[in-house]
Amino acid sequence: MITQEHINSLHGRDVHDRDGHKIGTAGQVWTDAAGLPTWVSVRTGLFGLNESLVPLQNADLRDDQLVVPFDKATVKDAPNVDASHDEPLTQAEVDQLYSYYGLRQHDSYRAYQAGAAASNESYTGSGTGSESYTGSAASSESYTGSATGNESYTGTAGRSHTGSYDDRGDDAMTRSEERLNVGTDREQVGRARLRKYVTTEHEQVSVPVTREEVRLEREPVTDANRDDAYRGPDLTESEHEVTLHAERPVVSTETVPVERVRLGKETVTEEQTVGGEVRKERIEADLPDEGRRRLG
């Protein structure tokens, strides 16, 4: 159960649903007129830019985590209520949230009764089960409404900016702001591969070839070759045959390695610009003689 003692410690906690799935991070806390925490904003989405309101009724703290009795989808699909400003919730927003989460508004009224009795606050009047948040102060909201049983009540409910002030009575106010934290996430962006295939090309190469040709040689008969000349018959018919040779080009192929190819990786660093919205608290002072002055 979430009580007043937990208000300042809720800011920044991880919020999980009833099944243990993380929904987001706790932001601001709303209290009822009795000072009991009733609603908390949960930052979801990239950089926590989206906020959903979830009731703290039946919520609990487990292992430094805020566990709410709803599933993740229900919280993320909650009605869009702007929780980034200091204006009170309107009656329409309150009714819409109660209806969406299936809660009854008089449950909060009973919590108010307990707180009002403890602080000696009175309530009078009559009504029929409605309530609204009105007012314009940054750190408090006027809570008015009525409940069944012909009685109504008035009072104040604090809008708790957790981490901004101390419940022990410190008169100083702390101004907080969101800082943009940017990191990187490694993911697969593509795949590269080597593929080898065969192509056929036509090549021409000049090759020297030799051949034998017939050449008629005549030489006169001299004393040096006279014996060879008289060695044959006197007058006869004869033939002499000479075999000729020639080289022909012969083409063949062989496979030889010519180079080696591999895929390598290198890391390249480049600058990319990203942005996001951050919220900052501003403090204004209403001074008697100087009017309103912004302090930060």
Domains and CATH numbers, the chain: 4-184 (3.90.50.10)
* Stretch among 140-154, 208-222, 242-256 having the lowest mean pLDDT: 140-154
Check pLDDT > 70 for residue 169: no
CA contacts within 13 A on the Cβ side of 195:
5
Q: What is the pLDDT of residue 294?
A: 65
pLDDT of 266 strictly over 80: yes
Position 283 scores a pLDDT of 85
Q: Which residue(s) pair with 55 in the sheet?
A: 39
* Predicted local confidence at residue 214, as pLDDT: 93
Parallel, antiparallel, or unpaired for β 60-62 and 284-287? unpaired
Helix H, strand E, coil C: the string for 122-180 is CCCCCCCCCEEEECCCCCCEEEEEEECCCEEEEEEECEECCCCCCCCCCCCCCCCECCC
Predicted pLDDT of residue 120:
38
* 64 pLDDT higher than 50: yes
Per-residue model confidence as pLDDT tens digits over 170-185 = 577 888 999 888 888 8
Computed over every residue of the chain, the mean pLDDT equals: 76
Q: Is the pLDDT higher at 31 or at 264?
A: 264
Entry pTM: 0.38
Which pLDDT belongs to residue 238? 83
pLDDT band at 83 (very low <50, low <70, confident <90, very high): low
pLDDT score for 85: 60
Q: 131, 144 in Cβ contact below 8 A?
A: yes
Q: How far apart are CA 8 and CA 80, in angstroms?
A: 25
Average the pLDDT over each of 81-90, 144-153, 241-250, 268-277 and give the range with the smallest value: 144-153
Tell me the C-alpha distance between 39 and 51, whole Å: 12
Q: Which residue has the higher pLDDT, 202 or 158?
A: 202
What average pLDDT does the segment 52-57 reach? 90
